[in-house]
Structure 1
């Protein structure tokens, strides 16, 4: 008799190159310099990852004033930071390592380029998200207007008589962003945009994989990720808009097995900051409850890898000392 349930594993899923690089930066800093290593903000939005690094000696803080002047490494998270944070670190001569995702840095440079060319920036993103705070903090106050959704795009009133450009947070819904850009472009002819889409390849690929899983018949999609992880929340939204139910869980124990067992075909994915071990936890929990056939649904192969900062690749290691951010 064939299995009563099918589990479709979306691929790609889980760690992206930017998250992998950020975690490796903390791990390498601990290996080279020992504990403690200070990290401003969660290095990535995943409690399991953060708790694991904390157990090895990483100290997570929200602001630089929580860090003593003891010469220990200070790491900026994958989400990026405002220029004022970098300036404060340099003023205090902190030994800093920048774990900002290179694709976020690309958005920062893009915003600066538009600003130099006299354009006002319309930033598509979510208020208060660390990446948005960091991007807005690359430019003077008033140089960027945040647009969170299509309704705001239809109502926003940027400075009159100033050329405009748009850029976006890297972890947004591809479909939502396209809708917002369409509204802005219709209202503001001549609106400049990025040379290449700001939403990162990993976000786009994971959303495409979720759509493919639903198209293959999944009526429930389980997303492994944190509630404060933008890309994880977007995956759940993409599944719902594709016609499936969706649940966001941080660990397998949070999954309601009775509810899941009512679905003959279940999809499973993970946000870009969730390790594969947590996905396999969910597979094991479901397999213990129901007769399960597991299939892969792959929409893309990812081979991108980002290099570590030079301060962590020098041999012999660079000793902790006052250093501007890499």
Structure 2
């Protein structure tokens, strides 16, 4: 007999599709809607196999009108359905922001908790492919800034499946961001560390709980999505320089696990935050503030951030790669910080 718990290495795309299919079997109110999510299986592969199993009533290809189908998802959630709707690229949020922020995010508040919005909006983020300024942004903090929304981003296939299941079961609207660089699509390539063992059974990755993915004592490096893997690569190289870096994967931007961040920095005394979203007014600043506001005395040196500069994302590959964060930038910044007060 086969072992149902035998290790299986999946990509994030396959893990997302598996989590979706399991919840669709468990709950008939779960359905998927968006552009090319049907027979094609999603541009990024995260709905593959669903159309063949569930048909066009529960896996709905839509016209190219994000305003229409995301607005429809909000209405469906209000009537007891649990829609999972895809915004193909997060950059397209501008045409449907009213449905996301003024409807989905505020529905429960405006109704005094009587009308819930159990809706998942999954969307692709991240640059590095010369897709230019309208297909390459991350915008984590844009959604994190809006009360009423939960915001998550997995860095591994294991977390992707568990987060998808947790997001679908949540009675609040959840923005489920997946990074193109980690997705596992052949034409995109993928970071090897994102492909992980994924159990066959159903499980939830808790929303709002960060993960310490590497233990260390000298500096805390905080990342999310793709930058977690950059931080891990940097940590391996830093160890050769005698620096033991602790790496935290935020996993969830809202709720933000401020306790995990503070406890790590209290141990290491130093903090670096890595984010491929824009530098100003972003996740990096919020993470740093979480420590400074609580007890600045735990810091031996000033915190540092490595993030995308406040410029539109260039099409030209050399320019884009120059602007993106990477392991080398993390190493250089950390080594500079380690020389302070040592």
TM-score (ref. length: structure 2) = 0.30
TM-score (ref. length: structure 1) = 0.31
> Quick check: which has more Rg, 1 or 2?
1
**Bigger RCO of structures 1 and 2 (CA < 8 A, at least 6 apart):** 1
